[in-house]
Structure 1
Amino acid sequence: MNSTKLVIGSHNHTPFGSCDEDFERQYRLRYKPFLATLYRFPSVPATIHYSGVLLSWLEQKHPEFLMILQEMVDRKQVELLGGGYYEPMMPLIPLSDRIGQIELLTTFLRKRFGKRPRGCWLPGLMWEQNLAGSLQTCGMDYIFLGEEQFRSAGLMGGAAERLALTEDQGKLITVFPVAVRLGSSLETADPREFVHSVSRGAEDGAERIITVFPERFASDSGDAQATEARIQALFEALSFADSRLELTTPARILKSPRSVRKAYFPSSAEPRVMYWAMDEERRKGYETLSALESKGALDGAGSFFYGAFPRQFLVRYGEANGLYSKMIFTHILINQLRGDKYRKRAAREELWKAQGCDAFWHIGDGGLHGNGLRKAAYRSLIEAEKIAREKGVFCPSVSPVDFDLDGEREYLFQGAELNCYVRTEGGSVFELDYLAKPWNYLDTFARRREAYAEGEIVVDAYRRSAFVDRLLAPDTGVSAMAALKASGGRCCALERYEELELDRQHQQLTLRNAPVTEGPFASIEIVKKFLLRKNTLTVSYALCNRGSKPERFNFATEIDLSFAGEEPALQRLSYLRSSAEAEAPLEVSELRGIDEVFVEDGQNGLTVALGSSSSFDLWVIPIRVLGRIGGAVRERYQSTCLMPVRPVILASGESWETRYILKFGK
């Protein structure tokens, strides 16, 4: 018997919502070089996963690629893996969606290649124990988990290089160990050294099973020929490996009987995912422990501490939780559909498109930092919601619901043209859907510090939304506000607004922010009323000085709106002053004494207009967030903050009122 069995794996996926240029570049640099080189080495078997998103694109753009893949499947050189069609984070999506996505990809593979997959790919190796039952129900016989996950399950030493068996509710599934670190080193290591290291036998003479999924072979220069040369060097080295090393696939391994140890794996993922799910403070502690482990100071105890559980992405990024909450809410709406199975199926497929993992995480590059990926997900969720609404039956409404699953109720205005979701924290609007396009104009992204950020950066203390109220010191300027260095003011973003009145019949909600106990302008009470009519959202304010002393301040409200980009073709800003219209630059600026401001949305072909009951000053602050996408760390556009500013002087007991009107249309 060969002492070491090596499984060469390849995971291939381009996220839903990526532009065609991104697909084509990945195809040229990654997908084509790997398969073309593998084709020339028929003695080297491989286990390959392609997401349904990618397969669909390949079928349309490069059918010749799938023809070659078909030939390699037929000659039993390639074993194809199943999984979720749109590459979802399996633990996060409802059971019925999980099963539906797996069956959708399984059906595609069976019809296109004549083979039903037996193995399931888990994005980021994300695992929760209850997955075992649903995966086995879908006909999946095996999965892959990383070496650290094996160790955390108590499979130490040689046991981390052998198969394991796990179960849930009596349903069993086999687990293959993935040598994550070895796979990462394979991207740059000398292939001959790699082959030599894996050819050695286990110390106890037992069989070793090593599975590697190299993250990337693509050349940093973007040279497809260089990429192909690196892959060829590996396959040549493997072709001449000594007899102790057997190249194989999971299906072949499972055909031979062997003793398998049973284990239960904690909720976890590959180390990179666990690392990036941590906030900055926890990451520092984790890095300290990791340094001690690398020096041997923990005496093997490193397997007992984690970075962060994968679901922590929903805590670290409020934007991810917002998208997750919308996904769960839409899932519930679709499940309430009765009688029309075609409409229900269409709604579900739109829902599944929005469940791709990339819009929910950031693992050092891309992910939810990508404005386009989030917008594609919201677009599909809004489409699913529209399909779920019955024509002639839907009635506009406002409902108190714990939408974002935080134990507090939010208020959902659902109109024929707009959705407007209001939270009591900050009394702000956190989702604003224009249904006709469809587009969530509050798909914003807060500025935060990532591990790769250097120097001083602007960090937001809250999720960016609309109608976030501020009482500013009279000498505060737009530059200080843009840099978040304004002092001597009161920010109401995290203050709790209480419900005064909910008028369901007229779709009105009135909230009150009581005076606070301390701080600047603490005696000011804010009452705001939300009214949704067709394509217009009106927010009315009444401010009252409940203190014994007069107060003088500037009242401002942040209104973030997110567009496809800041280029003139995607977004143009203009304003109306004394019946004269003029254009304004999309940069940190102040417009004085305007009557109305317009943002022309080039992507959706409509105009967003912000007006008021009287003229106002407007601060314009483009929100750009530092992030790494495609290896490049730079600031990228996320939203445009329009901030109406008005001077207010209130004597004790005096009140002041104003109104803002946000309108969407052509």
Structure 2
Amino acid sequence: MGRFLFGVHCHQPVGNFEWVIKKVTEISYKPFLETIGRFPEVKFTLHYSGILYEFFEKHWKEFFDLVGEMIERRQVEILSGGFYEPILPVIPEDDALEQLEMMNEYIEKRFGVKPRGIWLSERVWEPHLPSLLKKAGIEYTIVDEYHFTSCGWRVEDLTFPFITENNGDRICIFPISKTLRYLVPFREIDEVVNYIKGVEGCAILADDGEKFGSWPGTYDRVYKERWLERFLERLINEGIETSTFATALDDFPKKGPCYLPPASYEEMTEWCLPTEERERVEELKHDENLSKFIKGGFFRNFFVKYPEANQLHKRMIYVSERIKDKGKKYLFMGQCNCAYWHGIFGGLYLPHLRSAVYENLIRAEREENLNKKEVEVLDFDADGKIEVILTNENLKMFISPEDGGGIKELDFYPAPFNFMAVLTRRREAYHRFLGRSESFDGRKTIHEVITAKEKDLERYLRYDRERLLMFRDRENYRWVVEKNTVRLYGEKINKEYRLLPSGFEVKYEGEVETIIPVFLLSPGVEEHEHGIVFSENEKKIRMEITWEGVEEHSLEEIWTVSSSESGMERTFQGYLLHVRGRDLRVKILLRL
């Protein structure tokens, strides 16, 4: 009989609603610690993101006493990680190291212990990470068995810590059992206990703490039906040894060397694939003989699949390269991973998370006084096309002359807010399952249930032919830049952008049919004879659009249908204004 290693990771995104975090705390974080705290014989390992630590400092100060008592009696080990839960391999190395050191220092100061291991956000691994982790004084991390099986290791051999290295920099890795991830707390306790007892070495589980109360159906199962309490009792009664990961690292022989490819947990390697390829992989994996040989993509593929995620990522890199000290905290908050990808969780599809990333990145620039008059010409987003960035005290515009002369980003520094944080409507693999209705009873993981949060979501499905950009035209432009003005010359139409102190002006020559997407967190619009006003009530800001030469216009709401841990849902993403006319003159002013 082996040893059971039990790890729990808890995190909430930057920008999530306070009421959501309070609710998850009440139905998951609190009862979990209170329950396991009554079983001091059961050793386990905990990780919380810095977002939660900061929340607990304000709203649940007893948390620190509760965890402190467990540390004192050597029941629990605390893991480090990037403080604001970034994907470490995709942020600049200096930022990654600073975020790790920030968490190490916090844990040492708050709990009086030095962390030996880290939680790797979304278990996103790339082969260079040992060098980074060693610099941060980290001895080990935890990834999925899929990281190993995808390069030939057998599941039955993955019950010990492994050694890996990069250019001589060594760390250890524990592989998480996928079987245990799907068993706990969803299956019957006998099945879980029998599996653990059948393992030689370490039976390794480390997974989201939210599955203990917050995931649909789990509160009743875990606490009202006492699943967690009965499970802990069984571990003790069956004589199953438990320990922290750090203790196991000291006690067990290490295997090695192992070299893992870029990977995450198996589900994410499917989510990041293009929609058609994801569908094919999902179908092929029904064949158990084939599934272990089928590989998906890896995390950075999200930046290809979703140009909006790529915009966020390159905006973060852009800010990181330019700031020094004052804006660091906001930069790090803007590196929180959740808005940069989409899978079973809403992620990129959630407007408040995208907006929060932009808000923090824009604020970081403002803190460093980088909102000064400037014109930059560069391939900002690594798509092989040049962008022109116009900046003044109040605005930053990202214009893409080679993408129909469209605006990719429109930042308003006083707010701070990006009025172009719109999400393009695109087909997703799970759309083919709309109409299915299954229930969450706490006996299946969120990965095994397909359902929708409301009926007839099909009526909200609409797909855009290309990425939504403000004033994107079907024209191939030549272009020149002069001070705060960009002039574009096409075969049928010409266009000119001119930056104003609190907005910009667009002048067209010729017959024009174009679009103006506008990102808002909640609906707010007022039309009048010569224009339209969009109001973002939450941020108390307005976009005032006036025009000349418009012969016809129409306005539609942008809705998307996306997956979430509680089922498919529709989400308001802003407005799409269609305008048609000749020799258009459009002025857009942004106001508090």
Instruction: Normalising by structure 1, report the TM-score.
Output: 0.81
Cα distance per residue 1:317-349 (max 9 Å; x no partner): 111001001001001111xxxxxxxxx333111
CA–CA separation in structure 1 for the residues paired with 2:360 and 2:428 = 28
Provide the residue aligned with 2:403 in structure 1: 425
Provide the residue aligned with 2:512 in structure 1: 555
CA–CA separation in structure 2 for the residues paired with 1:194 and 1:124 = 24
Secondary structure of the 1:464 match is coil
User: What is the CA-CA distance between 1:187 and the residue it aligns to?
Assistant: 2.3
CA–CA separation in structure 2 for the residues paired with 1:428 and 1:503 = 18
Provide the residue aligned with 1:535 in structure 2: 502
Give the aligned residue type for 1:240.
N
Cα distance per residue 1:460-486 (max 9 Å; x no partner): 2222221123xxxxxxxxxxxxxxxxx
User: What is the CA-CA distance between 1:663 and the residue it aligns to?
Assistant: 1.0
Higher relative CO (CA 8 A, sep ≥ 6), structure 1 or 2? 2
Q: How does 1:180-259 map to 2 (within 5 A)?
A: 180-202=178-200, 207-213=201-207, 216-218=211-213, 224=219, 226-228=221-223, 229-242=226-239, 245-256=240-251, 258-259=253-254
CA–CA separation in structure 1 for the residues paired with 2:265 and 2:138 = 21
Secondary structure of the 2:587 match is strand
Q: Does 1:325 align with 2:314?
A: yes
Shift of the 65–435 alpha-carbon distance from structure 1 to 2, 3 Å rule, reads same
Q: Does 1:463 align with 2:467?
A: yes
The one of 518, 526, 539 equivalent to 1:574 is 526
Q: How does 1:96-115 map to 2 (within 5 A)?
A: 96-115=94-113
User: What is the CA-CA distance between 1:226 and the residue it aligns to?
Assistant: 4.5
Larger Rg: 1
Instruction: Normalising by structure 2, report the TM-score.
Output: 0.91
Give the aligned residue type for 1:536.
G
CA–CA separation in structure 1 for the residues paired with 2:463 and 2:248 = 51
User: What is the CA-CA distance between 1:123 and the residue it aligns to?
Assistant: 1.6
8 Å Cα contact 2:497-2:505 kept in structure 1: yes
Provide the residue aligned with 2:521 in structure 1: 564
CA–CA separation in structure 2 for the residues paired with 1:248 and 1:395 = 55
CA RMSD in angstroms comes to: 1.9
CA–CA separation in structure 2 for the residues paired with 1:468 and 1:611 = 18
Cα distance per residue 1:521-570 (max 9 Å; x no partner): xxxx1211110011121111112xxxxxxxxxx7322111111212xxxx
8 Å Cα contact 2:160-2:253 kept in structure 1: no
Q: Does 1:642 align with 2:577?
A: yes
Contiguous gaps of at least 5 residues in structure 2: 435-457
Q: Does 1:442 align with 2:399?
A: no
The one of 603, 622, 632 equivalent to 2:557 is 622
User: What is the CA-CA distance between 1:154 and the residue it aligns to?
Assistant: 3.0
8 Å Cα contact 1:402-1:408 kept in structure 2: yes
8 Å Cα contact 2:216-2:566 kept in structure 1: no
Q: Does 1:155 align with 2:107?
A: no
CA–CA separation in structure 1 for the residues paired with 2:78 and 2:532 = 54
CA–CA separation in structure 2 for the residues paired with 1:274 and 1:451 = 14
Shift of the 657–104 alpha-carbon distance from structure 1 to 2, 3 Å rule, reads same
CA–CA separation in structure 2 for the residues paired with 1:364 and 1:257 = 35
8 Å Cα contact 2:380-2:386 kept in structure 1: yes
User: What is the CA-CA distance between 1:29 and the residue it aligns to?
Assistant: 1.7
User: What is the CA-CA distance between 1:395 and the residue it aligns to?
Assistant: 4.2
Give the aligned residue type for 1:564.
L
Provide the residue aligned with 1:32 in structure 2: 30
CA–CA separation in structure 1 for the residues paired with 2:584 and 2:502 = 20
Cα distance per residue 1:402-441 (max 9 Å; x no partner): 1111122100001111111101212100100111010000
Cα distance per residue 1:107-140 (max 9 Å; x no partner): 1111000011111111221100111110111011
User: What is the CA-CA distance between 1:259 and the residue it aligns to?
Assistant: 4.2
Give the aligned residue type for 2:312.
L
CA–CA separation in structure 2 for the residues paired with 1:155 and 1:389 = 51
Give the aligned residue type for 2:322.
L
User: What is the CA-CA distance between 1:665 and the residue it aligns to?
Assistant: 1.9
CA–CA separation in structure 1 for the residues paired with 2:569 and 2:362 = 30
Aligned residues: 562
CA–CA separation in structure 2 for the residues paired with 1:289 and 1:607 = 49
The one of 411, 423, 426 equivalent to 2:388 is 411
CA–CA separation in structure 2 for the residues paired with 1:25 and 1:452 = 28
Q: Does 1:309 align with 2:308?
A: no
Give the aligned residue type for 1:232.
E
Give the aligned residue type for 1:439.
F
Give the aligned residue type for 1:595.
H
Provide the residue aligned with 1:387 in structure 2: 367
Cα distance per residue 1:346-369 (max 9 Å; x no partner): 311110101111010112122111
8 Å Cα contact 1:151-1:160 kept in structure 2: no
Provide the residue aligned with 2:135 in structure 1: 137
